[in-house]
Structure 1
């Protein structure tokens, strides 16, 4: 669409010789300079999304929308996608998109009717990027007829040198029109800023100024620390352990949302650090021994918090401007906070400011509610791995104030880096356990194959439904992860530590799984062939058919119960994550069916009522142990490692029902079925039933007219 060869930056070279005309005058010292190793193209490479902020005078879409009322909405997000950078790395071209949401799919095409094409040039005197943008006309009908015109839109972008509780963005800018106010197409000045969780790259000279510390001293009285032996050691502010996700947010109506909380700046001016910004080569903090000196006492810290709440759960205080009350519409509440972290007690107390919104507009940083108190308590480093970070967000306004809101309680898992080191060791151990588990499954299935070959009359006595379930248990993981065996997916190549890749280990696991699957198929073929060639095949097929009549309804009822339980656990996300709920419930329930793989054989033995050893002891006892050991390991893991579900490889919580209660139930259920099968093969299939049920009901030969009347067609 946009030619890149021999392109001349004519617009910026003519008009930006003296900076950005009509732009807001900002002192050059208030913006950061670009280093020699970090050019403007490096800072804005790829696609960058920014939140648009409208001033209080913006009361109509026509007066503040760069495209007027024609597009039907007031944009909330602006995206700058770099097309090309000049050879001197000082000028670049952008495709500038205006959208009403921050999400953009990977394969989505830009809407050229709401996009601008712009040239930008870095002004080293004023330390800002100046951009001239032009409209794209006739793009909807045919790209051959599209053309560029109306180059009266201007943008400027800079990197603030000083951050504060009211200005936490590392990139800010503005958009304006150079047209006269009374001319068609004019719009009011609009500001924009980045709101990403990780803020971008840290340039040399960046500082954070604490402006609310007097209020912090009033609202956060210092607690008397307990003796160190009783409380343990709490995370250090420079350790990277203070960022966390708020998995549960509770209000007056119960659980209502989730969010994230990350430290922005830590320490004073001399030893200030920005944990979630990527430092450039010249701005990396020097190792001055701050970590050891900060192990005790109070330290200043600032946070960026993002909370997602359903609009239907917002009361008049959190939603003072009567936003949409759609049950499935999520509202993001952004809070910037600063305060004091006590390393002796693990408590953090801060004064917060939240950005106010009005419908689909976000006000500028000057319109904020800064009468908020945030408290957070971190668990000790040596605490139980299931310990949670707990906190609260309260309004200090009077209850009659329109901006006052009811307190919010939140909690989140503590993921300390020392625990992460243990988790890496655990993941390696679990990979080995998974390989051993699948290898043992191969050995036990081989024992059953030898058992069937050695005893010619045993093959027809094995439940085909049980063998199908075991084969699918190995096939499904292979199908879901087939690409890992044949292609290198860069997104799945996770660098865990020191260049150690997981690809080879995953391939080994899947190769062993495939061998186990092939042996299961071989065992199924042997039993099928033996049953079709025996003289009593009609009797065996009737028993198999009746076993299906019992097992299938049980499986269906269990699946319905599992889905209802899963949906109730995700009651606030049911609509948005309905596919994940269905798939997650199905996968976990399939694991439960595998745990009870002997159930079809038990039912088949009841209908058949024979005493022959259809299953080798090594097979049914060994496979039972292979299925139950992960649940025993899960009980041990829950008390000794950090609870990080996404890193589970052996005993994956997504592939089965895992919890303290489920682990005990499944272990007892597996042992129960193994014991039943053992005594069925010695005392008869109905040995545990009352006498009146022990009489055979299918031993009599029933006349059949032809092969087609059999429940299943056989082929030898």
Structure 2
């Protein structure tokens, strides 16, 4: 055994080796990160002739600082990987212009920049907020990104740009590829309009047989500099031609501070499409005819650019085959329109002219704009009511006659009201009218609360406690779907603003038309409910048409409901409506099923923290009706504000307990260090494996939360409460944990050095090795058992068998099992004492009793917390359930086990390592020690 690992020369050699590795990696990055100077004239002189640049940097170019676009091809080097959770791979790019210089030719400019191909979810989110086609805020260092450094020349006269550059990327087999390419772009003119598309290609400069060769990549970008809104200025001077006339007073107007650009920019605006009755994929019901083979259910408006006066916009109008578009996907240009719109202040609507993009399916380089006969209008309704709660509505139509090719029937659309699209719609004057309260009162007559609960024990209607998430139940088989219920409108205030300005309990409306909780116990209320179920599990009467039969496909049902909430009983009764899909049960467009009864029962505020919100969604139709469906039961967790206040106090208390625990650990380890220094002969009698386990117990939390010590994570969020005070306390915990870890390392070094300098070090190392032979099989066997038990439970609950869930099982099980090993930190010392059979006090009483208490107190606290506070595991700071085994059974087991180990150490240090074994086994160990001592003295006897 090498005992000189902590000596100074070896530490110096280790530091020198680490420095050389880091320096080599930096040099490698610099070498490959620098663009290679290529022969521009050989590849680009025929496009834009090379000219001598001036030293002064030019300020004008048709590209902005960042120009976004799309690409196709290049699968060999980009090796896009379609992920089951991210769906279709991304096909997005960004061109960053770094420098532009004038040359000796007045219309030719030298350009330096880089072209980034985004092929995965992570990097797409790193793009700027400047264009809503892209999303923001995340790490940009993803392996799927290809970044070319380009240098070339642009001709303002011809609108052509030619550049050469290089990049590097790892192939799918892990081999480093050094790529050289030429970029050619057309239509890069000083001004543009709706028909202008910036198109181009990237070709490899390597021969086809070269491993670094890649196939041609075509690209498409929409220019953003000096754009002329020619279509809307010419056609919309007199409103939207052939659009449905709507009374201007029925729509909300905009103001100088709330323009159309403010309302629609900054994200993807998704809308549900509603086709005319009888439409299907075999008829010309969409702008793309029957060639695409389906009717797009969703349309989205992605803002490309806003005009300077904030009254006109450019859109990429995408028609998608699914209702969800995450951060991963890029649009299908073949089923997209390019449009420009302008706000009509007279009719309070946005008028949009849209054109088709042709030939984009074969190659983006061949894309062109034509057929600008599609029109759209969009408005913001002034009055909402049950079944008509969309804050943005509109229509799509064609200027062609019914007999002309390309004609399609009028399509209506409404916003989906999901994500951030709801937050942007907050216009002054928006009203809500209750029209089905009489039906609610007949369906749910008010009951006398009697003496079951006193008034005021249920949440008030104006509080946030009324919104909740829910699990859809399926008998005794547990949940098989999920959903959410969000407050839409509370009361009937004429000046109430939607959607996130619902008054709190401290600011109830005083208008006489509003009945408050204090007067009658009843309150008018409106909800938006969203239920997502597996397609295969849909009840009769709910099953939409054209749904995938995939086992894991999900289908969403949106229900708007209004009714009465009774504060005295905590019961909520509502009548709901859902839009019916055209073709579903032979219904027509705008048909709704409003024969839906929703019942919700809230638990009292003073109830058990594990109480559930329960409810049902019922059909009021007869069983023979084709729209009838079986009752859907659901439940949800209640997170009341009073519970949240207690949880905040609990989190503060747990912060203090974490600091105290780490501080006590420092004190107890310091006692052991003094104990080892005071008694020179006991250092070799301390189990090194025990000290390593304790050191790792402090090191692993530091590694998992290292960023909290140095910087604040901008995307970090904490349930219930997040702020500087909480983060400062976490940093304090990390610092105290770091001190405890350093002291553990110091104790390990002292024990190691003492054992190496001991005269009987062979006996100590023999006992240590035998302890390892016992402990490691026990730990490995326990890990295997824990993994299989956890995996079976998780597979049963989730019914999924993907690698993602396996990773979660492995990581979660490993962390909890590591906490269990740390709770039993005395086990290696007990085994070591058994083989060493020493009566020496190797461990200080303050050390093994104190650390045992530090490890067992969280389990005692967990028993108290489970019966006192709301069960919000994501907010646990002390006794975190993810870091150990915590349950009523495990808490008792671990507490008893820890006390047993501490008592065993106490008697071993008084009576011997095998004091609890029969006497003949103790004597065999003594004989063995005498035999080892005689063997050590054997060479001396021979010399004598």
Question: Aligned residue for 2:864?
Answer: 636
**C-alpha distance in structure 2 between counterparts of 1:244 and 1:24, whole Å:** 39
CA contact (8 A) 1:202 1:279 kept: no
CA distance in structure 2 between the partners assigned to 1:185 and 1:451 by the alignment: 91
Cα gap change, 1:611 to 1:223, in 2 (>3 Å): same
Query: Across the two proteins, how many residue pairs are aligned to each other?
Result: 698
Distance 1:450 1:118, change over 3 A: farther
For the pair 1:40 / 2:267, whether they are aligned, the reply is: no
Q: Please name the residue that 2:470 is paired with.
A: 246
Which residue of structure 2 aligns with residue 21 of structure 1?
241
SS at 1:458 equivalent: helix
2:698 pairs with 1:474: yes
Q: Deviations over 1:648-689 (max 9, x none)?
A: 222222222333333333322322222222223223333334
**Does residue 536 of the first structure (1) align with residue 759 of the second (2)?**
no
Q: 1:506 and 1:153, CA in 2 relative to 1: closer, same or farther beyond 3 A?
A: farther
SS at match of 1:570: helix
Cα distance change, pair 359–292 in 1 and its aligned pair in 2 (3 A) = closer
1:123 aligns with 2:344: yes
| Alpha-carbon offset, residue 224 of structure 1 | 0.7
Alignment of 1:277 with 2:500, yes or no, is: yes
2:515 is equivalent to residue 288 of structure 1: no
Report the Cα distance in structure 1 between the residues aligned to 2:245 and 2:340, rounded to whole angstroms: 21
Q: Deviations along 1:610-635, whole A, 9 cap, x unmatched?
A: 33333222222222222222222223
2:846 to 591, 608, 618: 618
- Taking a change above 3 Å as real, the CA distance of residues 588 and 457 of structure 1, as seen in their structure-2 partners, is same
Change (3 A) 1:177 1:687: farther
1:62 shift after superposition: 5.4
Q: How does 1:64-213 map onto structure 2 within 5 Å?
A: 64-68=285-289, 74-106=295-327, 108-137=329-358, 139=360, 146-197=367-418, 199-200=422-423, 201-213=425-437
Equivalence for 2:909: 681
- State which of 284, 293, 298 in structure 1 corresponds to 2:522: 298
Q: Alpha-carbon deviations, 1:676-707, whole Å to 9, x = none? A: 2222322333333455765657984899xxxx
Deviation at 1:421, TM superposition (A): 2.5
The alpha-carbon deviation at position 105 of structure 1 amounts to: 4.0
Counterpart-to-counterpart distance in 1, 2:911 and 2:587: 79
Label 1:681 to 1:397 Cα distance change in 2 as closer, same or farther (>3 A): farther
**Corresponding residue for 1:707?**
none
Q: Secondary structure at the match of 2:265?
A: coil
Q: Does 1:439 align with 2:656?
A: no
Q: Which residue matches 2:940? A: none
Deviation at 1:347, TM superposition (A): 0.6
Structure 1 length as normaliser, TM-score?
A: 0.88
- Alpha-carbon distance in 2 for matches of 1:191, 1:593: 62
- Alpha-carbon distance in 1 for matches of 2:800, 2:456: 37
Alpha-carbon shift at residue 254 of structure 1 (Å): 3.9
Q: Could you tell me which residue of structure 2 aligns to residue 546 of structure 1?
A: 773
The structure whose RCO (Cα within 8 Å, separation 6+) is larger is: 1
Q: Secondary structure at 2:413's aligned position in 1?
A: strand
Aligned to 2:447: 223
Quickly say closer, same or farther: Cα 1:143–1:525, change in 2 above 3 A.
Answer: farther
Using the TM superposition, give the Cα deviation of residue 454 of structure 1 relative to its aligned residue in structure 2, in angstroms.
3.1
Tell me the CA shift for residue 243 of structure 1. 0.4
3-state SS in 2 of match to 1:438: helix
What does 1:474-493 correspond to in 2, within 5 Å?
A: 474-492=698-716
User: 1:473·1:594 contact (CA, 8 Å) conserved in 2?
Assistant: yes
Deviation of residue 222 (structure 1)? 1.0
Measured against aligned partners, the alpha-carbon deviations of 1:190-225 in whole angstroms (never above 9, x if no partner) come to 333222356333312212222222321221111112
* 1:566 CA displacement: 4.2
Structure 2 residue aligned with 1:7: 227
CA distance in 2, matches of 1:419, 1:164: 34
Residue 278 (structure 1) shift: 5.0
Q: For 2:492 and 2:627, how far apart are their aligned partners in 1?
A: 32
Superposed CA offset, 1:282-302 (max 9, x none) = xxx995378994324322212
Moved more, 649-658 or 571-580: 571-580
Aligned to 1:663: 891
Change in CA separation of 1:668 and 1:268 when aligned onto 2, cut-off 3 Å: same
CA–CA distance in structure 2, aligned partners of residues 46 and 128 of structure 1:
20
Q: Determine if the alignment matches structure 1 residue 307 to structure 2 residue 531.
A: yes
Structure 2 residue aligned with 1:556: 783
- Alpha carbons of structure 1 residues 141 and 678: separation in structure 2 relative to 1, 3 Å: farther
CA distance in 2, matches of 1:646, 1:489: 18
CA–CA distance in structure 2, aligned partners of residues 535 and 171 of structure 1: 82
Per-residue Cα deviation, 1:450-486 (whole angstroms, up to 9, x for no partner): 3333333433333333333323322222222223333
Q: Structure 1 residues 682, 26: closer, same or farther in 2, change over 3 A?
A: farther
Q: Which of 381, 386, 390 in structure 1 is aligned with 2:614? A: 390
Deviations 1:372-403 (A, max 9, x none): 22111112223332222111222223334333
Partner SS for 1:226: coil
Taking a change above 3 Å as real, the CA distance of residues 681 and 191 of structure 1, as seen in their structure-2 partners, is: farther
Equivalent residue, structure 2, for 1:600? 828
Q: Counterpart in 2 of 1:712?
A: none
Query: In the superposition, relative to structure 1, how do residues 498 and 334 fare at CA in structure 2: closer, same or farther (>3 Å)?
Result: closer
Partners of 1:87 and 1:603 in 2: CA distance: 78
TM-score, L = length of structure 2: 0.68
Partner of 2:196: none
Tell me the alpha carbon deviations over residues 435-458 of structure 1, each in whole angstroms, 9 at most, x when there is no partner.
222222222222223333333343
Q: Please give the alpha-carbon distance, in whole angstroms, between the structure 2 residues aligned to 1:8 and 1:699.
A: 100
Q: By how many angstroms is 1:272 displaced?
A: 5.2
CA contact (8 A) 2:277 2:583 kept: no
User: For the residues of structure 2 that align with 1:350 and 1:182, how far apart are their CA atoms?
Assistant: 47
Unmatched tracts of structure 1, length 5 or more: 704-716
Residues 1:140 and 1:399: Cα distance change in structure 2 (over 3 Å): closer
Please state how far the C-alpha of 1:348 moved relative to its aligned partner: 0.6
Question: In the TM superposition, what are the counterparts of 1:443-522 in structure 2 within 5 Å?
Answer: 443-492=667-716, 500=724, 502-522=726-746
Which of structures 1 and 2 has the bigger CA Rg? 2
Deviation at 1:269, TM superposition (A): 4.7
CA separation of 1:658 and 1:178: change in aligned 2, threshold 3 A: farther
Q: C-alpha displacement at 1:270, in angstroms?
A: 4.2
SS in 1 for 2:466: coil
1:54 aligns with 2:275: yes
Distance 1:324 1:622, change over 3 A: same
Residues 235 and 242, structure 1, Cα contact 8 Å, conserved in 2: yes
Task: Please tell me whether the aligned partners of residues 317 and 402 of structure 1 are also in contact (alpha carbons under 8 angstroms).
Answer: yes
Shift, 1:34, TM fit: 1.8
Please report how far the alpha carbon of residue 108 of structure 1 lies from its aligned counterpart in structure 2 after TM superposition: 4.6
Quote the offset at 1:597 in angstroms.
2.5
Alignment check: 8 A CA contact 1:464 1:544 kept: no
Q: Distance in 1 between matches of 2:725 and 2:276?
A: 50
CA contact (8 A) 2:585 2:627 kept: no
1:589 to 817, 824, 845: 817
Native 8 Å contact 1:493 1:502 kept in 2:
no
Is 2:798 the counterpart of 1:571? yes
Residue aligned with 2:633, SS: strand
Task: Give the Cα separation in 2 of the matches to 1:597 and 1:67.
Answer: 69
Aligned partners of 1:675 and 1:61: how far apart in 2?
80
CA distance in 2, matches of 1:64, 1:197: 26
Root mean square deviation, CA, Å: 3.4
Deviations 1:224-246 (A, max 9, x none): 12248646522111122210111
The Cα of 1:264 is off from its aligned counterpart by 1.0
Question: Residue 241 of structure 2 aligns to a residue in which SS?
Answer: coil
CA-CA distance at 1:69 after TM superposition: 5.2
